[in-house]
Amino acid sequence: MRNFDINEDPHRRYNPLLNEWVLVSPHRAKRPWQGQNEAISTEKLPEYDPTCYLCPGNVRANGVNNPNYDSSFVFENDFAAMKQDEIMYEDDIKQTFFKAQPERGISRVVCFSPRHDLTLPEMEVEGIENIIRTWQKEYTDLGNIDYINHVQIFENKGSVMGCSNPHPHGQIWAQSSLPTQVEKTQKNLKDYFIKNNRNLLQDYLKAELIKEERIVIENDHFAALVPFWAIWPYETMIISKRHITKITDFTAEEVTSYATILKQLTTKYDNLFNTSFPYSSGIHQAPTDGQSHEEWQFHMHFYPPLLRSATVKKFMVGYEMLGESQRDITPEKSAAVLREQSDIHYKNK
């Protein structure tokens, strides 16, 4: 019997945020790839596209003209996932197998820039600061609505992630219930806080900063790292160093630091395979239910699907769908690869 080698031997890693495990199989990273290749667009986008429904002044699908905006622009999603209508509903507590209940909410689109051809890593820090201030305003405005208990800010970037329009934009879904992943996270954050009288993510970040194995970028106010329990090959998480429960707690300096680390991280992503790197990203922060949530710590997840190159994607199939999440490349290796990437975007070299 030989000693366990975390860099070579199959093992499971625990995710305390979700109370779940992920299977890590580092030896599989050596296998040859003969699977699906994704088509990566090399098309150079124009600064303005007259056919784009998100560009300034253009007509959207519902016939409404966009204003000639010059920074970020927010509008109600023309094909919203939820409705604001209040619906009469009586819960059938006797129902076992066919439970259902109406969900009330608001869906909005946030255009990051009037420029059709820009993405976050190609924007100036000042432009990203403006996006953050827009997120702060939306979190406040939506969270102040009496039936809204959670505000989810997120971005799907790239057609491989289901993004139907290349214009730089994200979305905000605000709803009356806590989404499943958020509810699970809150439970585990709260359990840890009650047991230890400390914040789980603050303790975790302190431990990561000591080890330095999975840290990708660090500044005075934030750290970007590959979580110990990461599922996606180049998954990362940005965590605030100070105890901040929500985006509206930021100081002016923290807004700039957050904008800077967002630009640096997404630039490293693009530089990894010299392509506009696809991902789904989203902010996790305290619910807007009017309660004090000291257990929460502001953090942001990035879930990119690319594995070996700009054309090779990681699929969640088979064992992942029937057993548990699985990855081949270790989080430590992913962090090292990302750290090595330049902060200068490959298009500007």
Q: Which entry of 169, 221, 284, 301 is annotated as an active-site residue?
A: 169
d(CA 211, CA 335): 12
The DSSP H or E segment spanning 11 is strand 11-15
Written in H, E and C, the secondary structure of 35-89 is: CCECCCCCCCCCCCCCCCCCCCCCECCCCCECCCCCCCEEEECCCCCCECCCCCC
Q: How far apart are CA 215 and CA 193, in angstroms?
A: 24
Q: Which amino acid is at 329?
A: I
Of 248, 244, 195, 194, the closest CA to residue 223 belongs to 244
To which H or E segment does residue 21 belong?
strand 20-24
Contact status, residue 208 vs residue 177, Cβ threshold 8 Å:
no
How far does the chain reach from its first CA to its final CA, in angstroms? 51
Which H or E run contains 129?
helix 125-143
Q: Pairing mode, if any, of strands 325-327 and 20-24?
A: parallel
Active site includes 169?
A: yes
Cα 236 from Cα 253, distance rounded (Å): 23
- SS3 assignment, position 171: strand
Helix (H, G, I), strand (E, B) or coil at 210: helix
Amino acid letter at 314? K
Q: What residues have CB less than 8 Å from 276, skipping those under 6 apart?
A: 41, 119, 157, 158, 270
Catalytic residues: 169
